Amino acid sequence: MKKSQKSLLIKIIVVQCLLVLCVAAQDFDFFYFVQQWPASYCDTRRSCCYPTTGKPDEDFSIHGLWPNYENGKWPQNCDKESSLDESEFSDLISTMEKNWPSLACPSSDGLKFWSHEWLKHGTCSALNQHAYFQTALDFKTKSNLLQNLNNAGIKPRNGEHYSVESIKNAIEEGVGHTPFIE
């Protein structure tokens, strides 16, 4: 695959909203759930480091769960007094290491990345830390992008080239929401 075509799958944003969450949080209208293909992410950066837990699986990984407004803007850093408390989501850490790895250099265990996501986006979600991270993990399981692409005959590793439209259609068919591909 050409580099420009690889980088097409850097981030796939699936707009998803759990009715209960969106109704409970009057400060935003919906979530952007952002996933990325790690190899493409690494191809587009000057450097990329695998997490200290090892090379990520060949699957989409979570980049973030971002509250957004319908007007195209988004809330951020809603509680500047908040800090990440690992004990709040300790039961999720092994799953997060697998599904929400940091690819930033130097290599890390993910806590710095998760802290950034929590402070910038999670504090605006109307969720506590455990619920915020669990919701993102649940969205990943529910969306299962790799399986949806495979079901449509789109296989990232077989060297074939696919149109953006066919990728969008496969994801929309699988998750029931139109993705934005960057």
Closest CA to 133 of 85, 172, 175, 171: 85
- Given the residues 81, 88, 97, 121, select the one marked as catalytic: 121
| pTM (global) more than 0.85 | no
CA distance 127 to 33: 15
CB 65 within 8 A of CB 116: no
Domain map (residue ranges) of the chain: 30-143, 144-181
Catalytic residue list contains 81 = no
- Given the residues 70, 86, 116, 117, select the one marked as catalytic: 117
Each residue's pLDDT tens digit, 15-64: 444 433 444 444 789 999 999 988 888 877 667 899 999 998 889 999 99
Residue 181 region by backbone torsions, left for phi larger than 0, else alpha for psi between -120 and 50, else beta = beta
Residue written as token pair 């408390």? 85
- Given the residues 58, 63, 81, 97, select the one marked as catalytic: 63
Catalytic residue list contains 121 = yes
Each residue's pLDDT tens digit, 118-150: 999 999 999 999 999 999 999 999 999 999 999
18 vs 67: which has the higher pLDDT: 67
Catalytic residue list contains 130 = no
Q: May I ask the CATH architecture of the domain 30-143? A: Alpha-Beta Complex (3.90)
Lowest mean pLDDT among 8-12, 47-51, 172-176: 8-12
19 vs 83: which has the higher pLDDT: 83
Residue written as token pair 């997490």? 51
Mean pLDDT of the 154-174 span? 88
